[in-house]
Chains A and B, each alone.
Chain A
């Protein structure tokens, strides 16, 4: 999950935030890290670039990108499928 946090920080230009500042279960959007709809789209790009996972339905976004943990679980589940 540390890797994922670093990737999120790089992808979203969260310059002043360190991986340890992001809790595994901290909400990423609005009240948590304060990400917005464009960040959500960038996270979709991140999944595609780093993990070759295509999230084609934007409506799944809120579920998948709720926290770092839900993202990691989604990646694990879908990478398993790819193998």
Chain B
């Protein structure tokens, strides 16, 4: 049961780049992806900055080979999932039992809301083909078909921790010898639905977000997709570039406090982080870097910070919220941030928590403000906490070949 699960490849598309290499360059050069809305049509376009992927649907369609009328959620998913598979360098995917676990919170909502605008004006209008992929599961099916994956396909929808959950479900499938290879992560496109919703909750920042700052005002919404390719030890041994990173720990817990808000003491976050450490057989002091959930809302950052204080005091690892670059990509953030955590391990780098001016007075630690290079990074903890109290933590570790 404790067979290692290797990371053979990663794929990302986000506001800071259309590939892993582009994202890494942006992370190193402190280039954030937020800006004025270009793709999304919204009444808030002048007021609320968002972190959009810099390609329109036509360009995404060209990259993927899917028709441009398909949901942006599916187009983003396919770009990142294809990159992850290519990066893994698995030649004989057809001969291996392969799974695709994808997470999303909006599914085909982007198409549906365009349909509704026309349909409500005149119920003979609106193209029905725009709503056929509304359901979250059908975006996954569409992408799995395009990737040629048939053996194990499922969709997970647990809000902002969705894709972290997809990744550890993938690991379990490998540990239980159900698949040899799994592409796991998540995707979400920006929609008016989510933007208006978060706006009614009054937690959207009108400026670029400042997670873990005393004067933080809220989050910026983003979009994108991130996937990892996980393989069994047996499959890893057949690869030209033998992977040296494993998913060593993972845990999910429920905060059991409120539909959307985190409990003041961050009990769910604490349970998720401590459970992941236990699973990995590590002590808190073994962790070199925490990729924070760090949304920039008052509530998340104090709950997450309090849980970190309780678990790590007095030896705090380096930490940062890369949502300062990508915005909060909801169902995709666990996948994108897992890929960033893997970059930290591969390159020995800690990416900065941008725009941090005044550290939070309640917390005895301060996230990194500058890029750090040539750091020994062996174990990285990645946090993803979602509405519904759903809290997940993943740990990625470097191993000797």
Bound-state CA distance A38–B200 (Å) is 10
Inter-subunit contact A37/B261 (CB<8 Å): yes
B257 closest partner in A (C-beta): A36
B375 at the interface (CB under 8 A from A): no
Which residues of chain B are near A17, meaning CB under 8 Å?
none
Size of A's binding interface in residues, CB under 8 A: 7
Main secondary structure of the interface of B (DSSP, over half): loop
Residues of A within 8 A of B261 (CB): 36-37
Interface string of B141-168 (1 = CB under 8 A from A): 0000000000000000000000000000
Residues 224-273 of B at the A interface (beta carbon under 8 Å): 258-261
The 0/1 profile, CB within 8 Å of A marked 1, for residues 202-235 of chain B is: 1000000000000000000000000000000000
Q: Is the interface of A mostly helix, strand, loop or mixed?
A: helix
Q: Is A12 on the interface with B (CB-CB < 8 A)?
A: no
By a CB distance below 8 angstroms, the chain A residues around B259 are 38
A41 interfacial contact with B, CB 8 Å: yes
- A58 contacts the other chain (Cβ, under 8 Å)? yes
Complex: chain A residue closest to B203, CB-CB: A58
- List the B residue with the shortest CB-CB distance to A61: B202
**CB of B1 within 8 Å of the partner chain:** no
B201 within 8 A of A: yes
Instruction: Tell which of A36, A44, A58 touches B258, judged by Cβ atoms closer than 8 Å.
Output: A36
A41 / chain B contacts, CB cutoff of 8 Å = 200-202
Complex formed: what's the CA distance from A44 to B202 in Å?
11
A44: nearest chain-B partner, CB-CB = B202
| Separation of A37 and B261 alpha carbons in the complex (Å) | 8
| B200: chain A residues within 8 A (beta carbon) | 41, 45
Which residues of B, 375-399, contact A by the 8 Å Cβ criterion? none
Residues of A contacting B260 in the complex (Cβ-Cβ under 8 angstroms):
37-38
One digit per residue, 1 when the CB lies within 8 angstroms of any chain B CB and 0 when it does not, for chain A 37-70 equals 1100100110000000000001000000000000
**Which B residues between 271 and 323 are near A, CB-CB below 8 angstroms?**
none
Cα distance A38–B258 when bound, in Å? 10
Instruction: Please indicate the chain B residues that have their CB under 8 angstroms from the CB of A58 in the complex.
Output: 202
Return chain B residues, CB-CB under 8 Å to A37: 258, 260-261
The smallest beta-carbon distance between B196 and chain A, in angstroms, is 13
Q: Report the Cα distance A83→B259, complex, angstroms.
A: 39
How long is the Cα–Cα vector from A65 to B200 in the complex, in angstroms?
17
Contacts of A44 in B (CB 8 A): 202
In residues 55-114 of chain B, which contact A (Cβ within 8 Å)? none
Q: How far is the CA of A45 from the CA of B200 in the complex (A)?
A: 9
Q: What chain A residues lie within 8 Å of B201 (beta carbons)?
A: 38, 41
Q: How far is the CA of A36 from the CA of B258 in the complex (A)?
A: 9
Q: Tell me how far the C-beta of A30 lies from the nearest C-beta in chain B, rounded to whole angstroms.
A: 12
Q: A41 to B259, alpha carbons, bound, how many Å?
A: 14
14 examples of A-B residue contacts, CB within 8 angstroms = A36-B258, A36-B261, A37-B258, A37-B260, A37-B261, A38-B201, A38-B259, A38-B260, A41-B200, A41-B201, A41-B202, A44-B202, A45-B200, A58-B202
Q: Using a CB–CB distance below 8 Å, which chain B residues touch chain A?
A: 200-202, 258-261
- A residues adjacent to B (C-beta < 8 A): 36-38, 41, 44-45, 58
- Which 5 A-B residue pairs are closest in the complex by CB-CB distance? A58-B202, A37-B261, A36-B258, A41-B201, A41-B202
